[in-house]
Amino acid sequence: MDRKLSKHVKRFLSSNNVEKDNQIQDMGELMVDGLMVDGNGDSMNVISTTFTAFPQISLASFLCSVSIIEYTIPQIVRLSQSSSKPLQPIWLKARFALLTKSIVPQTAITILQFGLVRELRDVLDNTIGPSRYNISLAYGVASVPFIAGKYNLIQETVFNHGITAATNTTTTSTTTPVSTANQSFQNTIKSIWTKKIQPGLLWSYLRDSGSIGGGIVLGPIVTSTILQYVENGKDGKNIQTKPQPYQKFGGGLIAGCCTGLLTQLFHNTALTAGRIAEVENRTPTTMECLNRCIKEHGVRALYMNFRYRVAIIATWTAILNVTEPFSK
C-alpha cells in the first residue's frame, strides 16, 4: 500500500510539474508577442514604443538638426547667386550664431517628425502587413511638412541674416518678420503653411521618401554586405548578428551617399520654391519651381550642391543607422 501510495504521489507531483512547465512555456510564448527575438533566437529584447524610444529619438534629432543647419546654409547662399538678391558668404562665426539660434526649434520639430514616422510605420504594418519598405513610405508621408518647414525656417533665418549684414546693423528690427504680433492665430497658421510648408511640397515628398526614407532601408543592407564581404569573406560564414556602431555608421554613410545624389534635383527644386516664397513673397506652383530651377541652373540642377546635400543625407542615414530610433 505504501509503495502504491508513493507511486501515486510521485505521478501527481510529476504531472503538476509538467503542467507548471507548460504554463511557463505558454507564458513565454505569450511574451514573445511583446518581445523581439534576434535572428538566432538566442536573445530577446522588449519591443520599444515611441515613448520608450524617446531617448534614441531625442539624440538622433539633435545630431541630425546640427548637420542639417550646418550643411544647408552654404546651399542657400549658393542657390541665391542666380537670383535678384544674392547672399554674401556666411563665415564660421556667423554660421555658429545661426546654429545656436536654430538648434532648439529644429530639434523639437525633428522629435515630432521621428515620432510620427514611427507611429505611421506601425499603422502600415498593421494595415498592409509588416515590410521593410513601410518605414520608407512612412518617412516620406510623415516628414513632408516637417522637412519642408525645417528647410524653409533655415532659409528664412539665413536671408534675415543676409539682410542684416547688407544693412550693416546688428539689430533685429531691420529684418522682416513672417507675421506681426497683431495677426490672428488663423492668419499665423496660414502664413506658416503658405510660406514654410506649401512651397515645393511635392518635391519635398519625393526628396524625403527617396533620400532618408530610402537610406533607412538601404543602410542595414549595406552594413550586412560589408560584414559579409569584408570581415567574414565571400563565403558568408560566421556573419556577426549584431554589427558594431562604426560598421553601422559606415553602412549608413554609403547608403546615404547613393540615395542623396539620386534625389538631388528634387532637393534643389524644393529649395528654389522656398526661396521664391521668401524673396518674392508668394507661393509658386509645383511646375514653376522645377522650371525655375532648371532655367537658372540647367543640367547642374541634377547635381548642384550635391556635396552639401549628400553630406546631410549620408550623415542622417548614418546617425539613424546607429541610434535606431525607428527600431521595434
Measured CA to CA, the distance from residue 5 to residue 32 in angstroms comes to 40
The reported pLDDT for the residue numbered 34 is 39
Handedness of CA 118, 119, 120, 125 (dihedral sign): positive
Residue 30 domain-assigned?
no
The reported pLDDT for the residue numbered 147 is 77
Alpha-helix residue ranges (DSSP H) falling in the chain: 2-32, 54-79, 92-128, 134-166, 185-192, 201-210, 212-226, 245-262, 264-279, 286-297, 306-323
The reported pLDDT for the residue numbered 170 is 41
Residue 234 domain-assigned?
yes
The reported pLDDT for the residue numbered 238 is 56
The reported pLDDT for the residue numbered 39 is 47
Measured CA to CA, the distance from residue 46 to residue 53 in angstroms comes to 11
Q: What is the dihedral of CA 321, 325, 327, 328, to 10 degrees?
A: 180
Collect the ranges in the chain with pLDDT lower than 50: 9, 12, 18-45, 168-181
Residue 43 domain-assigned?
no
Residue 212 identity (one-letter amino acid) = I
Residue 328 domain-assigned?
no
Question: How long is the chain?
Answer: 328
Measured CA to CA, the distance from residue 180 to residue 201 in angstroms comes to 25
Q: How many domains does the chain have?
A: 1
The reported pLDDT for the residue numbered 258 is 93
What domain range is 99 assigned to? 49-323
The reported pLDDT for the residue numbered 183 is 54
The reported pLDDT for the residue numbered 6 is 56
Residue 6 domain-assigned?
no
Residue 32 domain-assigned?
no
Contact present, 212 and 313 (Cβ < 8 Å): yes
Residue 25 domain-assigned?
no
Direct distance between the N- and C-terminal alpha carbons of the chain, in angstroms, rounded to an integer? 59
Contact present, 152 and 197 (Cβ < 8 Å): yes
Q: What is the CATH number of the domain that holds 198?
A: 1.50.40
Residue 34 domain-assigned?
no
Three-state DSSP at 184 gives coil
Under DSSP, the state recorded for 228 is: I
Indicate the pTM of the whole model.
Answer: 0.68
The reported pLDDT for the residue numbered 204 is 83
Cα–Cα distances (Å) from 217 to 182, 213, 232, 254, 324, in that order, read 46, 7, 22, 12, 12
Which of 213, 327, 320, 195 shows the shortest CA–CA distance to 262?
213
